[in-house]
Structure 1
């Protein structure tokens, strides 16, 4: 997952611009999505990097690398900082997932 982060982070913003210029309804949706999201991110801008890290680090459906990339672009986090935050979040999510699954396996050792 972490290997694709830099590539996608650099592609998402131009992709949003492409949709905005070339596709009417999709462009309107992208504009609306960016306006709503950026309005909510402005008040939390000083916590944006840590928030992005936490968002990606929590191993729940919909809070992974790909959603984190879109959130980072919409929050206007600089690419280098956003990529580092997402990669560390991915590593943290992997460790959390491993610890939970290892604990669950050990919890049932008494049955064997």
Structure 2
């Protein structure tokens, strides 16, 4: 066990917190958090709980502050322009689904546990579409729950990886 893991176990509840932190990461999200939690010894229900909470914690902040962050980054760190433009193009490509199906489109975008989808992508799309928290967060949360169920089935061997 690493010193970080020992410290987390002694001070913050260990595996639950670490699993939640892994699930907060973009790209990894709960797709990696659930298998990680199970891999470090959590029972599947606790790994799912920690992963869902960790995956959802940054979402309201992303929806509220993405536009402002992009504007600030463009003006203060111009070298990031390419990355920001790529993220905006990615969100724009997913926007049609959300516009067409609204709540269900955002839920579906978040629910499919594949690269380029997930809560972070859903929050980015919601932010760039100026969706309100009260409409975006429930759709993203429901999508995260569906993704958690799919990933759990994969971890249990009920679905192919």
TM-score class normalised by the smaller sequence: 0.5 to 0.7
Q: 1:11 and 2:36 equivalent? A: no
- Mapped partners of 2:97, 2:71: distance in 1: 24
Number of aligned positions between the proteins:
105
TM-score (norm 2): 0.51
SS of the aligned residue for 1:59 comes to: coil
RMSD over aligned CA atoms reads: 3.1
Q: 1:4 to 1:43 in 2, by over 3 A?
A: closer
Displacement, 1:94? 0.2
2:145 aligns with one of 80, 91, 104: 91
**Residue number in structure 2 paired with 1:48:** 102
- Mapped partners of 2:138, 2:95: distance in 1: 19
**Residue number in structure 2 paired with 1:62:** 116
**Residues 71-86 of structure 1 correspond to what in structure 2 (within 5 A)?**
71-86=125-140
For structure 1, the 5+ residue unaligned runs are 106-112
> 1 or 2, which has the higher helix percentage?
1
- Mapped partners of 1:36, 1:98: distance in 2: 27
For structure 2, the 5+ residue unaligned runs are 1-54
- Mapped partners of 1:101, 1:36: distance in 2: 29
- Mapped partners of 1:18, 1:98: distance in 2: 39
> Greater shift after overlay, 80-89 or 14-23?
14-23
TM-score (norm 1): 0.68
- Mapped partners of 1:43, 1:54: distance in 2: 9
